[in-house]
Amino acid sequence: MKRSLKKFLRDTDGAVTVDWVVLSAAVIGVAMTVLWPVAYSAESSASGLGEFIASVKDSYD
């Protein structure tokens, strides 16, 4: 039992997979954190632009 536990703890075959999963999650988390304000700003700007176009259209009618 001790022998197989020691062998299991020394085995590093799956370590690269775990590293990639953690690295990918970190990159996705940072990207979401950076892009969230940009997406909110773009939505707000698009809404403001739509209201402006609607007001200009109404002034010509």
Task: State the average pLDDT over residues 23-42.
Answer: 91
For residue 14, the 8-state DSSP code is: T
Output the pTM of the full model.
0.51
How many whole angstroms separate alpha carbon 20 and alpha carbon 24? 6
User: Looking at residue 61, what is its pLDDT?
Assistant: 65
The amino acid present at 52, given as its one-letter code, is F
Confidence of residue 31 (pLDDT cuts 50, 70, 90): very high
Q: Is 80 exceeded by the pLDDT of residue 49?
A: yes
pLDDT range class, residue 26, cuts 50, 70, 90? very high
